[in-house]
Amino acid sequence: MKFLDQAKIYVKSGDGGDGVVAFRREKYIEFGGPDGGNGGRGGDIVFEAAGNLNTLIDFRYTQHFRARKGGNGAGSDRTGAAAPPVVIQVPVGTQIFDEHREIMLADLDKPGMRVTLCRGGDGGHGNAHYKTSTNRAPRRADKGWPGEEQWVWLRLKLIADVGLLGLPNAGKSTFLSVVSAARPKIADYPFTTLHPQLGVVRLSVAEEFVIADIPGLIEGAHEGAGLGDRFLGHVERCAVLLHLIDGAAGDVVKAWRTIRHELEAYDENLARKPEIIALNKIDAMTPQQISSRRRALEKASGAQVVTLSGATRQNLDAVLRLLQDRVTATRAAEREAAALAIPQDAARDTAT
């Protein structure tokens, strides 16, 4: 299946049904009276996060979604039928933006989460609604209210715990294929990864985390060089970033600074995420080269640097354990912060 993480679609909720003008005409009811019913409500446009989807490719072929109009009213004070909603299923992690991509309308980041984007129009009143003590035979009925319509952009941000970053050929795809069941394309030329890949790492029955691999970044990616930086959105939700650096390529400090510069140019919040720096491909270096390049990276970054080899699986277990511990700690801190924020919001609402 082809991966697609952006799509533009048109949505329109249903118009409300029309009210009607009708009068009772039973043989033994002397004066009759108005009994025109109201129109039914139009169908809503509802978005739902589905756990079994991982791409927006379906919206390349179906771009227009319209809900049905509500049923018209009828005599005997019968209300028209309400139209069913149109439920549009999208992958978990989908964000909905307005036509100009300036305002985020919804963020469906949990399985089963629903949001009503366009509300169906209300039905019009029939003439029975306007009957009063002074107006015994009204001949007024209203048309149904129109539904809402708009063009929206869908943007998918994959839900993952660990984001893989690095220059092209840093060994990200090899690392993903070794630690998970994912089978990304691996070759000895740049940009073999053209779209994000996900892999699940299971350390034990109760411990697992999801890794997202995105296409490699190069200098000037925020200005459109290479594949650009639009795939960085897929690691914005990650708890920790694993920055792989090709130790055998030479200037490891320059490689690290290039990626850091692109992260800061894209989003400062992403650049502040916890980062683990890993010197990869140690199987292709001498012990002296490993030691000197590791020290240079630690001096430049001010952080501890781990070493590994995806091809020969050296130090992989230690790196995966470090990732699992960081993910667990970060997610726990996020849950604690969310729990503390809820009472504060409730107290603020009560005070207001």
At which residue do the structure tokens 């149904």 appear? Answer: 144
- Rounded CA-CA distance 35/76 in Å is 5
Q: What is the mean pLDDT of residues 28-37?
A: 85
In sequence order, the β-bridge partners of residue 115 are 47
CB 326 within 8 A of CB 243: no
Q: What is the pLDDT of residue 187?
A: 60
The answer to whether residue 351 sits within a structural domain is no
List, in order, residues 6 or more apart from 30 with CB less than 8 Å away.
none
* The 305-307 sheet, strands edge to edge: 197-202, 208-213, 162-165, 240-246, 275-280, 305-307
For position 258, which CATH number holds? Answer: 3.40.50.300
The answer to whether residue 346 sits within a structural domain is no
Judge if 166 and 298 occupy the same domain.
yes
Give DSSP secondary structure letters for 283-344. Answer: GGS-HHHHHHHHHHHHHHHSS-EEE-BTTTTBTHHHHHHHHHHHHHHHHHHHHHHHHHHHHH
Q: What is the mean pLDDT of residues 300-307?
A: 88
User: Hey, what are 142's tokens?
Assistant: 């209203």
Q: What is the pLDDT of residue 347?
A: 46
Q: Is a pLDDT exceeding 50 seen at residue 245?
A: yes
Higher-pLDDT residue of 246 and 122 is 122
Judge if 235 and 303 occupy the same domain.
yes
For position 63, which CATH number holds? Answer: 2.70.210.12
Reported as a pLDDT band with limits 50, 70 and 90, residue 122 is very high
CB 98 within 8 A of CB 58: no
- Rounded CA-CA distance 203/200 in Å is 10
Q: Is a pLDDT exceeding 90 seen at residue 88?
A: yes
List the binding residues for GTP. Answer: 166-173, 191-195, 213-216, 280-283, 309-311
The answer to whether residue 344 sits within a structural domain is no
Judge if 176 and 319 occupy the same domain.
yes
The residue range of the domain holding 125 is 1-156
In sequence order, the β-bridge partners of residue 46 are 87, 116
Q: Is a pLDDT exceeding 90 seen at residue 181?
A: no
How many domains, in total, are found in the chain?
A: 2
The answer to whether residue 343 sits within a structural domain is no
Higher-pLDDT residue of 221 and 42 is 42
Judge if 102 and 201 occupy the same domain.
no
Q: Is a pLDDT exceeding 90 seen at residue 235?
A: no
List the binding residues. Answer: 166-173, 191-195, 213-216, 280-283, 309-311
Judge if 111 and 257 occupy the same domain.
no
The answer to whether residue 29 sits within a structural domain is yes
Domain boundary, last residue among 156, 174, 192? 156
List, in order, residues 6 or more apart from 106 with CB less than 8 Å away.
47, 95, 96, 115, 117
The answer to whether residue 222 sits within a structural domain is yes
List the binding residues for Mg(2+). Answer: 173, 193
Higher-pLDDT residue of 159 and 238 is 238
Q: What is the mean pLDDT of residues 53-62?
A: 86
Domain boundary, last residue among 122, 156, 190? 156
Judge if 149 and 289 occupy the same domain.
no
User: Hey, what are 5's tokens?
Assistant: 């993480």
Higher-pLDDT residue of 344 and 143 is 143
DSSP 140: -
The answer to whether residue 127 sits within a structural domain is yes
Higher-pLDDT residue of 79 and 55 is 79
At which residue do the structure tokens 């080269």 appear? Answer: 289
Judge if 76 and 223 occupy the same domain.
no
Q: What is the mean pLDDT of residues 264-281?
A: 86
Share above pLDDT 70 across residues of the chain, in percent, rounded to a whole number: 88
Judge if 39 and 184 occupy the same domain.
no
Reported as a pLDDT band with limits 50, 70 and 90, residue 351 is very low
Domain boundary, last residue among 156, 176, 208? 156
Judge if 168 and 194 occupy the same domain.
yes
Most confident of 8-17, 220-229, 284-293, 325-334: 8-17
DSSP 23: B
Q: What is the mean pLDDT of residues 239-249?
A: 87
Q: How many helices (H) and strands (E) does the chain have?
A: 5, 14
The answer to whether residue 302 sits within a structural domain is yes
Please state whether 34 falls in left (phi above 0), alpha (psi between -120 and 50) or beta. Answer: beta
Q: What is the mean pLDDT of residues 284-310?
A: 89
Model pLDDT for residues 138-180, shown as the tens digit of each residue: 999 999 999 999 999 999 887 788 888 888 888 888 888 888 8
Q: Is a pLDDT exceeding 90 seen at residue 96?
A: yes
Lowest mean pLDDT: which of 19-28, 68-77, 176-185?
176-185
Judge if 300 and 320 occupy the same domain.
yes
Judge if 245 and 103 occupy the same domain.
no
Judge if 34 and 171 occupy the same domain.
no
Q: Is a pLDDT exceeding 80 seen at residue 1?
A: no
Residue 27 has φ and ψ, to the nearest 5°, of -60, -40
Angle (CA) 34-35-40 rounded to 5° is 135
Q: What is the mean pLDDT of residues 51-67?
A: 88
Q: Is a pLDDT exceeding 90 seen at residue 10?
A: yes
